[in-house]
Amino acid sequence: MLVDRLRCAGIRVDIGERVTVPILRPPGTKLLLSGGGLAAQAELSSFNYDDTDLGADGRVVSETDARKFAPDGSLVDRGQSIFYRGTPHLFRRERVIVIYAGDDRAVMTVLTRLLGNQFAGG
């Protein structure tokens, strides 16, 4: 769903490798964005909380995982840490969590339009 919406917004999306974040239940997919008014190529990590794959309600699991992040994008459990290559911006909509580490205003605008306001990050 997210890839289709990004493409409809005029952004080129290349599907990258699978990614894992140990605190998030499903594996994610790296998405490389370009064009569509973006200042430069941007990288996102998208985590799809599919009910069938999880064997549970994906919305509930994604909400639970989202609560593992502090408002600044760090982890609530200070015994764990996460490294971002730029300013973290975390978005959640229903069964999807997206992590964008960067400062491209065009990326932020399109993600906010498609996913709503970020729930954590800078």
> Which residues have CB under 8 Å from 6's CB, separation 6+?
13, 31, 33, 110, 114
- Check whether 1 has a pLDDT greater than 90: no
The pLDDT tens digits of the residues spanning 41-78 come to: 999 999 999 999 999 999 999 999 999 999 999 999 98
CA 65 – CA 94 distance, rounded (Å)? 12
The pLDDT tens digits of the residues spanning 69-113 come to: 999 999 999 889 899 999 999 999 999 999 999 999 999 999 999
Residue 42 tokens, joined: 């941007």
The pLDDT tens digits of the residues spanning 12-47 come to: 999 999 999 999 999 999 999 999 989 899 999 999
Number of C-beta neighbours around residue 120 at 10 A: 22
Just give the CATH number of 2-114.
3.40.1000
The model's confidence at residue 120, banded by pLDDT at 50, 70 and 90, is very high
CA 3 – CA 16 distance, rounded (Å)? 12
